[in-house]
A and B are shown apart, each in its own frame.
Chain A
Amino acid sequence: MNAIYAATVFGIIMMFAGLLTNNKKIVGALAIILMAGLTCIAGYDIMIAQLNEPQLLYNNMLKIERFSLVFNVLMIGCTFLYFLLMHKDISKVGVHQSEYFALIFFVLCGMMLLSTFNNMLMLFLGIEIISIPQYILAGSDKHNLKSSEASLKYFLMGAFSTGILLMGIALLYGATHSFNIKDFASMLHTEALNPLGLAGIIFLIVGLSFKVSAAPMHMWTPDVYDGTPTPFTAFMATVAKSAAFFAFMRLFHVALIDISVHWVMIIAIITAATLFIGNITAVFQQSVKRMLAYSSVAQAGFMLFAIVAVNAVSWHTVLIYSVAYSVATIGIFSVLVKLKDYTYDGFNGLAKKEPVLAFAATIFLFSLAGIPLTGGFMAKYYALLAVVQMQQGQFMWLVIFALLMAAISVYYYFRVITAMYFKQGDAELTTTVTATDKLLLILTCIIVLILGIAPQILLAI
């Protein structure tokens, strides 16, 4: 796990780089180089690890498995893409640019703990390490009242939910006398389920649902995502959220899988509620940024399919969904950040003014809506496949419901396309779009399309 060390060290380097220079170009370039380095190191970790058998590290605190490492490298890769597309916008948020980059490195460090934890202590540490930098990032635009409000709200709600999570861990400890997730499996299923254990599981579901913004624990999402400076919303809604998701997945599908009968229905109902609230509320938004916040709730509903489906496909689902969703969302945010007006009307006529920008945004929205040939389709496909495959089709109602909701999602995603292509207007931009920007956007589109045509390359890593 060299990548964990590297992420920490690189974060510290970024932090001290702020002492030496305040030149935006140098800081941005340094961040990109370090992130490229981190991607390589994470890739190297996969190469040297013996993937056939999991390794235990640090007194059984971490357990390195194939899917964890693949998830790490993919998410670090997404962050690299995010830096490439948005480093200029990140630097523009405030004066402390190097700190912003440093915080993102720390989030990745927490993500790697979450993807490999073998002990509830590590789960808790990981959740805290990804959360605290996000509270700061949310409030990074200090002179903007909405940003401060977002930060405070996120912090209060986040602290509260972490408390619930901790309570769940404590109750589970009471039931099993252990923090090691391996012991849960054996101790919880041997006898009739301990009431303490069941209460602990429900607390854990609530705490983690908050982190992945699943309904009804999603209330903070729209305000926080809306108030946070746009470049950081892009990161929070993608990599950070996927990391929390992977932890959710790991806890329930490794530690608690033997007693899945006790929790699968709760998760299924949460899934349905998330899909419903996310999609229906997104329809009524007037601001594209707020719509994307609700859409991220809706997408979390689809990701929860992976947890509902207790089988091998669900691991593929979580990988492909995280990547497809992250790439498309980072892409659409990188277009959004260039616009002056975040309402739908702000997109009017973008296709005439900046055809490349509009085309790229269209591909990203297609992917989010799940149109074939894009990564988003394959992600949804795997999610559906995982649930349909459960025995006797017991969750077919959930599948049908999710499909209805997916059709609704087309409405709000396509409103943006309609505005860009079919409405008259002069979409005002905050910056000029350089040739590099266009090239990077096209590259991102190609990634989205490759994911849609040949998703197996992700699983073959």
Chain B
Amino acid sequence: MILLLLILIPLLTGALTFAIKGAGAKIFAFISTLCTLAISVFISGSTNGTNLSYQTEWLPELGARFSLYSDGLSGMLCLLTTIVTAVVILSNLNKEVERPNAFYGLILLAQTGLMGVFLAGDALLFYFFWELALIPVYFLCSQWGGERRIQVTFKFFIYTFLGSLMMLAALIYLSIQTQGLRSFAWQDIVAAGNHLPVDQQVWVFALMFVAFAIKMPIFPFHTWQPDTYEQSPTPVTIILSALMVKMGLYAVLRWLIPVLPAGVAYWSGSVIMLSVIGIVYASCIAIVQTDMKRLIAYSSIAHMGLMCAVAFTHTSVGMHGVILQMFNHGINIAGMWLIVSMVENRWGTRDMTKLGGMASSAPRMAIAFVIISLASVALPLTNGFIGEFMMFNGLFGTTQCEHLTMVFAGLGVILGAVYTLNMIQKTTYGETVAMNVAADMSLNELLGVVVIVGAIIFFGVYPKPLLDMTASVANMLVK
């Protein structure tokens, strides 16, 4: 029942928000996100590894049920979703947007879709929420984005929609292979997938992987991503990069790796290769960017590439690292975008060649920026470290790819340090006349950043709660 609340609260409050005129909308939306945050904290805190589920009849003709299911992985991602959405709205409280009721209503609806994706225990329901998460984002980007927003969002939408249709075909194919009555339940899909002959697993895998690769995004399906991140309004960019790309990775872990073991074995070498190409390629492009948003967008491709590569290495420690890193990357990149949006609001530009001297004019912001950046390059004692350490451990322990590939993947870390530190250097230090007049963070922005930095340091020093929560899932995935 409590799982149903996680979906119903954002859905109903999201619909209600449309009706609220004026500034009340954002307060209302904020309260709603706090409620879901409280519930998801309660779920992660109180269940101690027991799995929750909820089921009811939905489409008996098709064998689809409205079934929600939560284990450590789902619980962790719900926690991430609720934290990030709350922080997004919190740090936006002092800003004015056009038509706030529609803006915040759509954000809550996007949250509904995300929650549904992470909780769905039925393939058709999963597909429904997968699309439902996309539609509000389409409207948010097209309406409140930058000047090239319409074409860019269009491209993004068509890309992801095409991917989802491929996934739909694969899911239908799997569902008619289930034993006895047709069914979309996760267990039945897993059983059906495992029974498929190898040649069929190979192409079903290809159909599903395209959908997930577009979402993550994995090279060469990534071309929508930098433009979309750049053109979206920052709150939406945060939702996209911290949460929606995790949908792709989550789907790989939940609906691909357990379902099609032979397909995974057949393709994992290629997937790792593509991911590693993506890491090096995106890192190299990130180094020459001058726009902060584009730099972070490319860095995100590199980080997701690493996670995807490790997800296919089939090692327990690597898998555990990936799951942990999904949470950490979400927190870190949300922090990055928050800082970028503050910079843009204050100095009217994201061009790093025109910025500089943040440390002297806005010291608190600079400190936060440095901490978040260091977490993003995985310095020890930040949350990024433990995840990345485990991932490389897995990558070097695997037999799925050549050692040279791993070396190139490792190169990504070095390149990551190059562009991230370069960004800090250019924006935080040095002197620029334009930087001198600006206020430091306001109270709500400070609170948002404190939550992020707090999470970075807490999980960097003491990652045990997250590790315990997800250990059983990681073991299940490599079994």
Contact = CB atoms under 8 A, between A and B. Distances in A.
A96 to B, nearest CB: 44
A372 B162 contact: no
A371 B135 contact: yes
A410 B131 CA distance: 13
Contact of B131 (A372, A404, A423): A372
A18 B157 CA distance: 51
A385 B62 CA distance: 10
Given A388-B172, A403-B169, A372 B161 contact: no
B161 A410 contact: yes
A432 B161 CA distance: 36
Given A403-B166, A456-B61, A372 B172 contact: no
Contacts of B139: 421
A421 B172 contact: no
B154 A414 contact: yes
Nearest to A452: B128
B142 A418 contact: yes
A384 B164 CA distance: 14
Contact of A418 (B150, B166, B172): B150
Contacts of B173: 388, 393, 396
Contacts of B61: 455-456, 459
A422 B162 contact: no
B169 A399 contact: yes
A381 interface: yes
A201 to B, nearest CB: 29
Nearest to B174: A388
A456 B172 contact: no
A459 B127 CA distance: 23
Given A372-B127, A384-B168, A404 B150 contact: no
B402 to A, nearest CB: 32
B128 A388 contact: no
B176 A385 contact: yes
Contacts of A371: 131, 135
A422 B168 contact: no
Contact residues on A (Cβ < 8 Å of other chain), bracket? 20 to 34
A393 B201 CA distance: 13
Interface string A406-425: 11101100100010011100
Contacts of A400: 166, 169, 207
Interface string A356-392: 0000000000100001110000000100110011000
Nearest to A459: B61
Contacts of B143: 421-422
A393 B200 CA distance: 10
A373 B132 contact: yes
Contacts of B31: none
Given A381-B172, A389-B176, A400-B169, A407 B162 contact: yes
Interface string A139-154: 0000000000000000
Contacts of B131: 371-373
Contact of A455 (B59, B166, B169): B59
Given A414-B154, A421-B143, A455-B59, A372 B128 contact: yes
A26 interface: no
Given A407-B158, A422-B150, A385 B172 contact: yes
B165 interface: yes
A389 B175 CA distance: 10
Interface in B133-185: 135, 139, 142-143, 149-150, 154, 157-158, 161-162, 165-166, 168-169, 172-173, 176
B12 to A, nearest CB: 16
A442 to B, nearest CB: 14
A384 B59 contact: no
B59 to A, nearest CB: 6
Nearest to B128: A372
Contacts of B59: 454-456
A373 B154 contact: no
Contact of A407 (B128, B135, B149, B161): B161
B60 interface: yes
Nearest to A411: B158
A388 B168 CA distance: 11
Contacts of B162: 403-404, 407
Interface string A439-461: 00000000000000011100100
A59 to B, nearest CB: 37
A399 B173 CA distance: 11
Given A389-B176, A456-B61, A407 B142 contact: no
Interface of A: 366, 371-373, 381, 384-385, 388-389, 393, 396, 399-400, 403-404, 406-408, 410-411, 414, 418, 421-423, 454-456, 459
Given A393-B173, A403-B169, A411-B154, 10 more contacts: A373-B128, A384-B169, A388-B172, A400-B169, A403-B166, A411-B158, A418-B150, A421-B143, A422-B143, A455-B61
13 contacts: A372-B128, A384-B172, A385-B172, A403-B166, A403-B168, A404-B162, A406-B165, A407-B162, A408-B158, A414-B157, A422-B150, A456-B59, A456-B60
Interface of B: 59-62, 127-128, 131-132, 135, 139, 142-143, 149-150, 154, 157-158, 161-162, 165-166, 168-169, 172-173, 176, 200, 207
